[in-house]
Amino acid sequence: MLRPALALMLGLAVCACGAPRPAPDAPAGTTRTAAPLLAGPVIPPGFGDADPHDWNGRAPDSYPVHGIDVSRWNLDVNWHAARAAGVNFAFIKATEGGDRFDPLFLSHVAQAEEAGIPWGAYHFFYWCTDAATQARWFIAHVPRRPGGLPPVLDLEWNAHSPTCTTRPAPDMVRAEAATFLAIVGRHYGQRPIVYTTVDFFRDNALADITTEEFWLRSTAAHPAESFPGTPWVFWQYSGTGRVPGIGGDVSLNAFAGTPAAWAAWHARRAQRRNRSWPRERGGRCPPRVPRSPRDIWGQRMGVNGSFP
């Protein structure tokens, strides 16, 4: 259960346009002067899998840098043990739609930091709430963290949602995604990574988007087969991973490069505390989003693609 003090740190305040104010620029359990998160020495993965796949071609273990992604469903996590077992990064679910906040986000963040694991927060997009509302909800709950990984926009169909199974047209999907990326990217000073699945990628012609960094889910084939011609930065290769220190299944991910490439990518794409961060004080609302999705897709931040 979250301590009241931690909950108050991320309490909502309403600005003049009805949007919540951003979360304080420090993660739960730390201070505003916390040292930047660092990408420590890469530890080779000592992972298992409850349902291992027989890989043809290049397998996940050919990549040296691995990590995990977690949410409220990962109740039992010893982050120090996970780090020792080869967890070099973590993506942690923060928000969903415009009204859901993962109850374990603060706990996972604080413990990941204690274990020296760079983390990034992800938002699960809900197709029955507009993108601007969802972006403001994410900003209200996720602090900017020097050294933290870029935020992530999780794009997939809400197939099991009890309240929203709508599937917008591809042009609407891409426009809404572009709106979210623009608002969130400006606030954190880093363009979000886009996570997606094989079917969603195909259904919405995301291969036409060449200005974003992708985190791709492909649990039965290498991304080169599932997403031909699409560069990627992270590969989610299992949803049934077993990691020492973590009870039950956990999703496993590989970074598309060497330890040196990982250090360079983190140095370039980590959040930074600097004067360019916008100040959201006095009830001032987030900036107006450019009207043209085409213009938004052109606002590239960082380098897209796999790494040597």
Which of the residues 69, 102, 113, 213 is marked catalytic? 69
Which of the residues 25, 61, 130, 156 is marked catalytic? 156
| Residues 123 and 96 sit within 8 Å (Cβ to Cβ) | yes
DSSP state of 181: H
| Residues 122 and 195 sit within 8 Å (Cβ to Cβ) | yes
CA dihedral sign, ordered 255, 259, 262, 266? positive
Residue 199 among the catalytic residues: no
Give Cα separations from 83 to 61, 88, 102, 282 (angstroms): 17, 7, 22, 40
Residue 69 among the catalytic residues: yes
Q: In angstroms, how far is CA 81 from the centroid of its own chain?
A: 22
Among left, alpha and beta (phi > 0; psi -120 to 50; other), residue 57 is left
CA dist 252 and 43 (Å) reads: 15
Active site residue ranges: 69, 156
